[in-house]
Amino acid sequence: MISRYNRSFFPALVILFFISGLVTYFFTEKVLRDEVDESLVRIYSRIDNYIQTHQSLPTVTTFDDFKLNVEPADIKMPKILLESSTVFIPEQKKNHRARKLLFTVLVKDKLYKITISAPLEGTKTMTKTIFFIGTATVLVIILTLAFISRLLLRRLWKPFYSSLQLVRDFKVDKNQPLHFPQTTIEEFDTMNDNFKMASENAVNDYRRLKEFTENASHEIQTPLAIIRSKLDLLAQQENLSEYQSELLQDTFGAVSKLSKLNHSLLLIAKIENHQFDSKVTIDLSEKLEYKINQFHELWQNSRLECISEISPSQINAHPELIEILLNNVLSNATRHNLPDGIINITLKKTELHVSNTGYSKALDEEKLFKRFYKESVNGEHNGLGLSIVKQICDVTSIRSGYNYKEGRHTFVFNW
């Protein structure tokens, strides 16, 4: 707002500055020129009175800077004439702008033309002086006004930007009340009241949704356990037909999938509830090697080759979260691989790369870490694995990224 105001305000001041300077210059010049013209008219009146009194021409002489010239004339001028001209000043040996008054008089039956001229050199100097003084005054006023305006605007809008910064830094999951600055401006107070009300409503809605998710996940565990127990009893029954066995197997799969989904949602709720805030220094290289050994048999059965390059590395995080992150990333590289594919794992001091061969198509980076995002090539998983990875990265201050090149899907983690 302030910068936009300045972009509009200062050009207007600059234009005003130039316009006022030009107006001052030309107005001053006109006033001084009119003053010279009035002086010429007064001298004309004195000469006319002299001729009327003495019936003779005045002596050709100089009245201060005024010069008088008399010469015979053939045609009588109907009235006096004022015009601009130039006059030579011997002392300066150059011509100067001047004003002259011309008229004709009849003296002893002879017609004469009389010219009175006055240089504008003095008025020119005075015009420039007044112009510079006026321009400097306007410039000082404009700069002072701009400076005061800038300070005043910054002071007036400071509470507004402070409130915006508070809203920008507001996190609905932090459960920290907003303390807006007190102002004497009614509009800002109204805005702050609305911000405060909106933040409180958002926190309350988030808390209710979080409690609902956590409670629902806990409550679902018991019915799922009962269903699995009943299915186990049913599977032990003899004389089940092939069709009944297939139905039972499909039901087991659905219950297992629902149980995994419930476990993932419960884990997300715990992360959002800050139940993993405690952090310790973890030897990531040792933990990663342990995970690779755990997955080794699975990769052999899936005909996958793992190529790893592990350097010493440590990270400050919750051990369980790092365990879940490595599990999800390695499971993702296994699940979305090709037969006889390759998994590359590179661990550096503050960076982890996990890449795998896969379908020759890049994933949608905008949706990749969102909940329930699934590629059509593999729809068996619930679409929460990478979302959980992103949640862990956020609470552990790990930067996550993805890229696809030459048939390799690569996930990069920096801390």
pLDDT tens digits, 220-229: 777 888 888 8
Q: Kindly report whether the global pTM for this prediction surpasses the value 0.85.
A: no
Query: Is 220 in the same domain as 347?
Result: no
Whether 178 maps to a domain, the answer reads: no
Model confidence at 21: pLDDT above 80: no
- Spatial separation of the C-alpha atoms in residues 144 and 138, rounded to whole Å: 10
Whether 146 maps to a domain, the answer reads: no
Task: State which of 81, 105, 140 marks the end of a domain.
Answer: 140
Query: Is 213 in the same domain as 263?
Result: yes
- Find out whether 343 and 337 touch, Cβ atoms under 8 Å: yes
Domain that holds residue 258: 187-272
pLDDT of the residue at 361? 81
Task: State which of 218, 240, 272 marks the end of a domain.
Answer: 272
CATH code of residue 297: 3.30.565.10
Query: Is 349 in the same domain as 327?
Result: yes
Q: What is the CA radius of gyration of the chain?
A: 48
Give how far Cα 170 sits from Cα of 271, 302, 336, Å. Answer: 18, 46, 37
pLDDT tens digits, 259-269: 777 777 777 77
**Average of per-residue pLDDT across 323-341:** 91
Would you call 269 exposed, middle or buried from its count of C-beta atoms within 10 A (0-12, 13-18, 19+)? buried
pLDDT of the residue at 382? 56
pLDDT tens digits, 84-106: 887 776 666 777 788 889 999 88
Tokens representing residue 368 in the block: 């990749």
Query: Is 305 in the same domain as 392?
Result: yes
Instruction: Report CA dihedral (353, 358, 360, 364) to the nearest 10 degrees.
Output: -60
Whether 172 maps to a domain, the answer reads: no
Query: Is 260 in the same domain as 322?
Result: no
- Spatial separation of the C-alpha atoms in residues 146 and 415, rounded to whole Å: 47
Whether 171 maps to a domain, the answer reads: no
Query: Is 323 in the same domain as 408?
Result: yes
Q: How many structural domains compose the chain?
A: 3
Model confidence at 197: pLDDT above 90: no
pLDDT band at 413 (very low <50, low <70, confident <90, very high): very high
pLDDT band at 377 (very low <50, low <70, confident <90, very high): very low
CATH code of residue 248: 1.10.287
Give the N- to C-terminal CA distance of the chain in Å, as an integer.
37
